[in-house]
Structure 1
Amino acid sequence: MNDENSGSGYVTGGEYTRDSTYIPDRITADGTSGWPAEAGRYRLVAARACPWANRSIIVRRLLGLETAISMGLCGPTHDERSWTFDLDPGGRDPVLGYERLEQAFLARFPDYDRGITVPAIVDVPSGAVVTNDFAQITLDLSTEWTAFHRDGAPDLYPEKLRDEMDEVMQQVYTEVNNGVYRCGFAGDQRAYDRGFERLFTALDWLSERLAGQRYLMGGTITEADVRLFTTLARFDAVYHGHFKANRHKLTELPVLWAYARDLYQTPGFGDTIDFPQIKEHYYVVHVDINPTRIIPQGPDTSVWLTPHGRESLGGSPFGDGTPPGPVADGEAVPADHGPGGIGHR
């Protein structure tokens, strides 16, 4: 069963529940986990279409880990078995030599029968998956890979804020990141109605929180902002229509819309977003929701580049640090897949 094919979850009594069992292994600075942080040893396998994987792409870029951890990208669509490397020449990842991410999971667990999910980190020498625990992966990139961070990298998980951050991120996860899926995969009207109310109650709470501060934890970007952003970036393009999360569009929620544009226009965020891949993924893979597989032409994504005005709240996205440099060679989103390109057809 695939992560995005059914949200890696199941429906009972009409309610959607996400299967949150992942490979718990961690890559650590001291190597006591059995997987030491070593430059060049691991490959992050992600997909631009997937919000959970998009987090890891953003964090890797913000921290400047491109030279320490290589990245392989799967295409936006897949079948029941696995994400595939159909964007690469010959349909094979050039480093791992695999056609399917499934091969990395089976290289470690021959009888693996859970979801083949992105993001996943693969040990290149053995070709075996290390972990697919998306929430822990990004935190570990911040805390266990510090020896390989770029100069000026932001502290995305500040120790003094962690207790409050963990609470905020849990709320964002259950009510927003997963909340849109609770609407989209609801099995009956009652479950959908409950999910809808929970989602927009949370969005209203976030609007209130962000009305007087630039970012979720104050004046600088943290992991909490990364986690919220990947859902907001997909909201009008996918969740509003496809998942019936349609009380308001993001563009109709003034505070959240300005906040999302602020992040989008910050290096490391918008330059990881591929709107055509996002739409193709959801509308083609979720055949139970969209059996015709017709991909909508809208919405117009050029609005992501309009002024947001959030500078008036003060703060600085990177605090005492600096923005990441240019996107690494070979990792740029095609120019016509961003605002003003084919993403708004």
Structure 2
Amino acid sequence: MSYVSTEGEFTRDQRYIATRITADGRDGYPVEPGRYRLVVSRACPWANRTIIVRRLLGLEDVLSMGVAGPTHDERSWTFDLDPDGRDPVLGIERLQEAFLKRYPGYDKGITVPAVVDVPTGQVVTNDFAQITIDFSLEWKQFHRPGAPELYPEALREQIDKINKYVFTDVNNGVYRAGFAGSQAAYEKAYHRLFDRLDQLSGILEHQRYLVGDTITEADVRLFTTLVRFDPVYHGHFKCNRSKLTEMPVLWAYARDLFQTPGFGDTIDFVHIKQHYYEVHRDINPTGIVPAGPDLSNWLTEHGRDKLGGRPFGDGTPPPPPRPDEVVAAGHGAA
């Protein structure tokens, strides 16, 4: 439901379902183990955030996860990865069904991530920015022992500030470049993107993480764009001043996170490339998916340890992914 203005500028439709799942249930949806299902696609950077945060906080046993396929049509994401093409918990073929069950005339985007109320089969929210914050704050009583503080109270103002400009210029900035409808709009987005990446490089040259000395929500949000940069955004979205591998500080930072449990083990490069190159036929009419790039370099030494920092603060790394949530062999960094 996003659009391109008469000036050629891409504008993302941000009219999300703002209902929240909270500890006190003030919106009618209290936090309850087993009641909700997180629907994601591993291709989507916004959904990828929720996969990472759910893993880091250890919410797997209380919040199940359904994984949609990497491609979709105008009617929404489908569960074509499941044997009979239906989500095994919700029993639906398309995420659209959960949206229409709650809002029969729903006319906005059918997006992932989405949290669905299993008993009613109705979508609760697709407000991706709020979902991960609520995982940290509202679901706290169900965090695993040793779960990190991803949104610590003392750092929230700083985290919110960074998240705001990272969203505008980087997370959404790559889309503003990729879907620009005019040369002027493209160049504006292009320069905003790389100016911001240069600024972030300046920050990260001297500290291991964006805010404080531990991983926070801010790092999760930047990571999901960086990990898609060379496979997709550099070529497909014409963000080609530099590859990530040609930006030394950000490349080392991204590898550091990728090699941290809960980050790289959620990444499915095959799904990522299939989604962007097959779905966006307006900018890739043939639907041909590039064979490259070589991804083995994601596992090379990053050297960020010398900056200090403690990835999980006073907490511990998450355990390995559940067997049914492991990224398919050959889909990650080899």
- TM-score > 0.5 by shorter chain: yes
Percent identity for Structure 1 against Structure 2: 71
1:232 and 2:229 correspond: no
How do 1:77-116 and structure 2 match up within 5 A? 77-116=71-110
Corresponding residue of 2:57: 63
Structure 1 spans left out of the alignment, 5+ residues = 2-7, 341-345
> 1:12-67 deviations in whole A, cap 9, x for unaligned?
31111111110000000111221100000000000000000000000000000000
The two structures have a TM-score, normalised by structure 2, of 0.99
Give the match's secondary structure for 1:97: coil
1:164 and 2:164 correspond: no
1:43 and 2:37 correspond: yes
1:246 and 2:219 correspond: no
Aligned counterparts of 1:176 and 1:9: Cα–Cα separation in 2: 18
Corresponding residue of 2:186: 192
Q: CA deviation at 1:11?
A: 3.2
How do 1:293-312 and structure 2 match up within 5 A? 293-312=287-306
1:73 and 2:67 correspond: yes
How do 1:149-160 and structure 2 match up within 5 A? 149-160=143-154
Corresponding residue of 2:13: 19
* Aligned residue among 190, 197, 204 for 1:203: 197
How do 1:22-33 and structure 2 match up within 5 A? 22-33=16-27
Q: Which amino acid aligns with 1:104?
A: A
Structure 2 spans left out of the alignment, 5+ residues = none
Contact kept, 8 Å, 2:4 with 2:181, in 1: the verdict is no
Q: Which amino acid aligns with 2:149?
A: D
The two structures have a TM-score, normalised by structure 1, of 0.96
Q: CA deviation at 1:337?
A: 0.7
Aligned counterparts of 1:285 and 1:298: Cα–Cα separation in 2: 18
Contact kept, 8 Å, 1:214 with 1:313, in 2: the verdict is yes
Q: CA deviation at 1:328?
A: 1.1
1:122 and 2:116 correspond: yes
Q: CA deviation at 1:164?
A: 1.1
Q: Which amino acid aligns with 1:260?
A: A
Q: Which runs of 4+ in 1 moved over 6 A?
A: none
* Aligned residue among 169, 177, 181 for 2:171: 177
Aligned counterparts of 1:338 and 1:69: Cα–Cα separation in 2: 24
Evaluate the alpha carbon distance shift between residue 54 and residue 189 of structure 1 in structure 2; reply closer, same or farther with a 3 A threshold: same
> 1:97-142 deviations in whole A, cap 9, x for unaligned?
0000000000100000111000000000000000000000000000
Give the match's secondary structure for 1:72: strand
Q: CA deviation at 1:216?
A: 0.3
* Aligned residue among 138, 141, 154 for 1:144: 138
Aligned counterparts of 2:48 and 2:123: Cα–Cα separation in 1: 18
Corresponding residue of 1:343: none
> 1:140-182 deviations in whole A, cap 9, x for unaligned?
0000000100000001001001111101000100000000001
Aligned counterparts of 1:150 and 1:136: Cα–Cα separation in 2: 20
Aligned counterparts of 2:188 and 2:291: Cα–Cα separation in 1: 30
Contact kept, 8 Å, 1:11 with 1:186, in 2: the verdict is no
1:338 and 2:332 correspond: yes
> 1:216-266 deviations in whole A, cap 9, x for unaligned?
002100000000000000000000000000000000000000000000000
Aligned counterparts of 2:6 and 2:119: Cα–Cα separation in 1: 41
Give the match's secondary structure for 1:73: strand
Evaluate the alpha carbon distance shift between residue 295 and residue 150 of structure 1 in structure 2; reply closer, same or farther with a 3 A threshold: same
Number of residue-to-residue matches in the alignment = 334
Q: CA deviation at 1:339?
A: 1.2
Evaluate the alpha carbon distance shift between residue 312 and residue 149 of structure 1 in structure 2; reply closer, same or farther with a 3 A threshold: same
Instruction: Please give the root-mean-square deviation of Cα atoms over the aligned residues, in Å.
Output: 0.7
